[in-house]
Chains A and B, each alone.
Chain A
Amino acid sequence: MIIQMQGITKEYVVGDEVVRALRGVDLSIKKNEYVAIMGPSGSGKSTLMNIIGCLDTPTDGTYILNGKAVSEMTDDELAEARNKEIGFVFQNFNLLSRSNALHNTELPLIYAGLSKKVRHEKAVAALDAVGLTQRMMHRPNELSGGQRQRVAVARALVNDPAIVLADEPTGNLDSKTGAEIMQLFEHLYEKGNTIILVTHERDIAEHANRVVHILDGSIATDEITESGINRGVR
């Protein structure tokens, strides 16, 4: 198991009110799974993604990521988990606008403490893998939306994370470019990566083998998709 969640709750205090964003989520994800998390806005889907991505900690419950208990981690340990275990792909790309594609891709490696030479090699290889060899020295504003998201994917993969966590990765792309990015994820999955896709679009979720529906802070349904059945997942 890469992800083991049990009784995860998350409460926010907004003014005098306590908002219960997650009300006891149990979720397990194995290595090389392709899971989509779906739900309408306000369902707790984003909160769950933040917790999975170690960007936030649960109020209660246990979360074990790749054998380590996230719920008991310190700030620095969380940072390390984000660095080593998670590769993020965001809806709005979240690239550093003043840095070129290569430097953006290198960022996780800088925080991993790798030497300049190794960083350069790995980043070039990662950009190569997403087909951006020719555009390494371009800044995000000199790249198309699809190219930016490819940089983000390269950055997500560069430090060999346990899971790739993509939050509405096609949300800001036209359908053709979106399809290209989804193909890229497919490819990553086939190479053995574990992919978690957070989306509210059913046809995007259909790419995954398994769809988890979140409603009002709990898991409503957890089922194998058609693609999953086609790929022989049980």
Chain B
Amino acid sequence: MQVYESVSLGLSQIRTNKLRSILSLTGILIAVGAVVGLLSLGDGLRNAIVGEFDKIGGTSTIFSSGPSNWYKDSRGQWVRRDWEEYLTYRDIEAIMAATDKVEFVVPHVHVGGPAWNITRRAVSVAGQIVCTAPRYLFGQNLEIEKGRFLSTLDLLNNAKVCVLGYQVAQDLFGPGENPVGQEVRIGSMRYTVVGVTAKKEFFDSNYDDQTIIPITTAQHRILGNDRLNWIRVKVKDPKDVAEVAQIIRTVYRNLHAHGEDFNIQTGEAVLEEINKVILILKIVAGSVAGISLLVGGIGIMNIMLVSVTERTSEIGIRKALGAKRSDILWQFMVEALVLCLLGGILGILLGLGIGSGLAAFIESKTDWIFVGIVSVQMMGLAVGFSLAVGLIFGVYPAWNASRMSPADALRKE
């Protein structure tokens, strides 16, 4: 018997039992819908995160920092180093001298924290202090709302000036007053406000809660040393990131006794980490959806078993007229496969609906650009999966049917 005959037979069977067929493929439909919907959100999430990541320099950025004080020894135990190494301004100068592929370098110093009190008269807000250089503004894609950002002169003079984050300025001065030129107290020192940054949200939106002071002021007036905690190198062309990272490594090696222990992380590497997290999310979501696919499959098997029992005499007739085992097997297999395939295709449509619906919901709740993404591969995967379910859960009932003795099957009514 030709494949065409099996398919048309399976289809006509599905047509004659419409309600039952619809009910049994609903399981597959929902499962595939869930898989497609969740996976499309996973890809959408990745794109949204990458989009946000690009806003702060993205893949053309290289982060580097001195080695941490602790390291894992050969037995896997954490040991404190007996030597200290750290980045200084010398490293930045060396990097700038070594290559012209760098657009700018932003240094960064921690002055402890997490939060400092920034006080004006009786009003005090807690916020993070960022100690950096003029280039920070571009490195973070920040914009200035009032006044100006830090200048090179501020750095040379270890000037006691600061730039307030949007929210800090709101909290200390309110909407009516211009903070520029006024004095605030950070810790025990007085600083003159030279500017306010524009509103910017990124994940937990700490840009608006931070206060920026010159890095040299932090080094010389607060910390009393010339350490940099990390530096951010912005490469002109993202293509050159790996090459520049290598140059930075060489610079550190030349300038430091333990230069090879410095951490150098490219935006690429950060992206990889993001991808890993998304992959884990997708696997978890996929497993949950996979369980519903299993349930759907069992539903299909149930229906097929009923269908085989119900059509015992039909199987007997077909066998008496010359149907081989394989003919009967295929008749029922095709029925299960067609049911699952239909469920899969309808499920993809449902999944597209779920994905775009949830994406719109997420967009309305955040300011992210969030679009569910469904790839052709994913659709292929969904269809493949539902066919596999049909194959796995259809084979037992079909096998049962094909093994019936024609004499016994004919005797049943």
CB-CB under 8 A for A82 and B2, given A50-B407, A55-B410, A76-B325: no
CA distance A84 to B322 in the complex (A): 8
Please tell me which stretch of A26-34, A36-44, A106-114 contacts chain B, meaning at least 4 of its Cβ atoms lie within 8 angstroms of it. Answer: A106-114
A-B CB contact pairs (8 Å), 6 listed? A55-B320, A84-B322, A94-B317, A107-B318, A107-B321, A112-B322
Closest to A99 in B: B12
B314 touches A96 (CB 8 A): yes
Closest to B406 in A: A55
Closest to B405 in A: A56
Residues of B within 8 A of A (CB): 1-2, 5, 12, 16, 313-314, 316-327, 405-407, 410, 413
Task: Identify B321's interface contact among A50, A76, A88, CB under 8 A.
Answer: A88
Considering only residues 10-59 of chain A, those with a C-beta below 8 Å from chain B are 50, 53, 55-56
CB-CB under 8 A for A110 and B317, given A55-B407, A56-B407: no
Residues of A in contact, count (CB < 8 Å): 26
Minimum CB–CB distance for A22 against chain B, Å:
13
B324 touches A79 (CB 8 A): yes
CB-CB under 8 A for A111 and B313, given A55-B407, A79-B319, A98-B16: no
Task: Identify A90's interface contact among B2, B319, B327, B410, CB under 8 A.
Answer: B410
Contacting residues, chain B, for A107 (C-beta < 8 A): 317-318, 321
CA distance A82 to B407 in the complex (A): 12
A80 located at the interface, meaning its Cβ lies under 8 Å from any Cβ of chain B in the complex = yes
A79 touches B325 (CB 8 A): yes
Contacting residues, chain A, for B318 (C-beta < 8 A): 107, 111
Contacting residues, chain B, for A53 (C-beta < 8 A): 320
Interface of B is mostly: helix
Residues of A within 8 A of B (CB): 50, 53, 55-56, 75-76, 79-80, 82-84, 88, 90, 92, 94-96, 98, 107-108, 110-113, 155, 159
Minimum CB–CB distance for B200 against chain A, Å:
68
Contacting residues, chain A, for B317 (C-beta < 8 A): 94-96, 107
CA distance A55 to B16 in the complex (A): 29
Closest to B403 in A: A75
Closest to B328 in A: A79
Most interface-central of A56, A79, A96 (chain B CB within 10 A): A79
Given A108-B321, A111-B322; 15 other pairs, CB 8 A cutoff? A56-B406, A56-B407, A76-B325, A79-B324, A80-B322, A82-B319, A84-B322, A88-B320, A92-B413, A94-B320, A98-B16, A110-B5, A111-B324, A113-B1, A113-B2
Ranked 8 nearest A-B pairs via Cβ: A83-B322, A111-B322, A55-B407, A79-B324, A108-B321, A50-B407, A56-B407, A55-B406
Closest to A155 in B: B321
CA distance A113 to B5 in the complex (A): 10
Minimum CB–CB distance for B404 against chain A, Å:
11
Contacting residues, chain A, for B410 (C-beta < 8 A): 55, 90, 94
